[in-house]
A = this chain, B = another copy of it.
């Protein structure tokens, strides 16, 4: 589709940031923004903004800048967000529940359509208006709605087996919150989010100046 060349890992995250700024600008009725303004708002250099965009095409006008709404739409399309994505969560614990209720996902096109757990005491309970279902029903649901995305919020010890089952059920993109390295077969995209590690980043850098 796009991707004539290899795209830097970090570019995707920056595109997200650009798109958020562009949406705001558009809502304010601004009709053109420069790479410099985008850069300022998102904490990068203007050259970086132009380079990131250049991987995917030409979206601006020389001497003028970019139209926020237009560029926003392009970026959303690049990110695959020109549609809505159903998402399931495995693990109806504290984190799973917080994520299920998080409005920020829907805002970006992600709909939490199912929450699964193995704890009999939790099955049948509701989080928001979604009922917690037993893990065995995952595959059925995934096939029914062609779900491709899933979030793992189970204890580290269960993460690998849960991920295996998700993949077997048809999930193709996974975010893993358990602090453990899990492996997935070719063709499945995995992203690990380690929150303790984020704090450690801070202590490391605080330590530097000691």
Contact = CB atoms under 8 A, between A and B. Distances in A.
A62 B94 CA distance: 45
A172 to B, nearest CB: 6
A148 B206 contact: yes
Interface in A115-153: 148-149
Interface stretch (A64-72, A162-170, A192-200): A192-200
A204 B159 CA distance: 24
Interface band, chain A: 35 or more
B179 A205 contact: no
Contact of A206 (B102, B172, B202): B172
A209 to B, nearest CB: 7
A80 B1 contact: no
Q: How many monomers of this chain does the complex have?
A: 2
Contact of A181 (B17, B95, B105, B203): B17
A113 interface: no
A58 interface: no
A161 interface: no
A110 to B, nearest CB: 5
Given A181-B42, A193-B193, A105 B199 contact: yes
A185 interface: no
Contacts of A181: 17, 41-43
Contact of A203 (B42, B80, B179, B183): B80
Interface of A: 1-3, 12-13, 15-17, 20, 41-43, 78-81, 85, 87, 94-95, 97-99, 101-102, 104-105, 107-108, 110, 148-149, 172-175, 179-181, 183, 187, 189, 191, 193-210
